[in-house]
């Protein structure tokens, strides 16, 4: 989604009523961030909206990216926010062989999660299609990708092939390198 460099674009202040709604929707979508919400999105802080290509909006506070929101989709946490609060999102793990493909912007394929180095949540913590996950790399501590699952974990385990995440925000992409100053 953000493979290319993103040029600086218009920035606008978000009205306090809209900001309250965004905060509420973010907490409904990601209850794992609730203990940290005052740190992430203080009630009195000024939220800015930055227009991105592909009909997407990035929300920032003091040039710190928080989350982006596709036109008709849920807010998706920025990778820098996920790095600050690594336990707030559900995670999956890719094997070493998939790392270079993910970091070059390729779609995440099921074999990267179902092979020996990959890891999916247990059956009691299964994830559904449409859930937003942080993707960890084998042997690394921090997430390398945030994206929306195209299939549930049970389906991924059964089929063991196909695309799992195709439009994600990954380390080194245009959104990661974007200058917000």
Q: Which pLDDT tens digit goes with each residue over 152-172?
A: 999 999 998 999 998 789 999
* Final residue belonging to a domain, choices 23, 49, 83: 83
- Final residue before a domain boundary, out of 51, 83, 115: 83
Same structural domain for residues 72 and 95?
Answer: no
Contacts with 59 (C-beta within 8 Å, 6 or more apart), sequence order: 14, 22, 47, 48, 49, 50, 65, 66, 67, 68, 69, 75
> Are 99 and 156 part of one and the same domain?
yes
Is residue 14 within 8 A of residue 49, CB to CB? The reply is: yes
Assign 136 a pLDDT band (cuts: 50, 70, 90).
very high
Res 35: pLDDT: 95
Whichever domain contains 148, its CATH number is 3.10.400.20
Which two three-digit tokens encode residue 64?
């710190």
* 105, 75: one domain: no
**52 band by pLDDT with thresholds 50, 70 and 90:** confident
Say if 177 falls within a structural domain: no
On the question of pLDDT at 5 being above 90, the answer is no
Sign, CA torsion 103/2/113/33: positive
Q: Are 99 and 137 in contact (CB under 8 A)?
A: yes
The reported pTM is 0.90
pLDDT of residue 4: 83
What is the rounded average pLDDT for all residues in the chain?
Answer: 90
- What is the tens place of the pLDDT at every residue in 16-30? 999 999 999 999 999
Structure-token match 């493909």, residue found:
101
Using 50, 70 and 90 to split pLDDT, how confident is the model at 3?
A: confident
Tokens in use for 38?
């005052």
Structural domain range at position 73: 11-83
Same domain for 98 and 154, yes or no, is: yes
CA distances from 128 to 132, 153, 155, 158, 164 (A): 9, 7, 9, 14, 11
How many structural domains comprise the chain? 2
- Nearest CA to 136 out of 108, 163, 160, 104 is that of 108
């Amino acid at each position: 989604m953000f493979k290319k460099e993103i040029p600086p674009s218009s920035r606008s202040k978000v009205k306090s009523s809209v900001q309250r709604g965004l905060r509420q929707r973010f907490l409904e979508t990601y209850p794992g961030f609730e203990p940290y919400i005052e740190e992430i999105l203080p009630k009195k802080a000024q939220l800015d909206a930055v227009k991105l290509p592909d009909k997407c909006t990035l929300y920032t506070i003091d040039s710190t990216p928080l989350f982006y929101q596709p036109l008709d989709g849920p807010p998706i946490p920025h990778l820098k926010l996920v790095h600050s609060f690594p336990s707030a999102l559900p995670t999956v793990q890719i094997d070493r062989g998939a790392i270079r493909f993910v970091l070059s912007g390729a779609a995440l394929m099921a074999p990267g999660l179902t092979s020996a180095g990959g890891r999916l949540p247990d059956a009691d913590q299964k994830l559904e299609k449409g859930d937003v996950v942080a993707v960890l790399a084998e042997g690394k501590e921090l997430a390398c990708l945030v994206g929306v699952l195209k299939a549930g974990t049970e389906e991924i385990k059964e089929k063991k092939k196909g695309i799992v995440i195709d439009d994600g925000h990954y380390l080194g992409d245009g959104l990661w390198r974007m200058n917000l100053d």
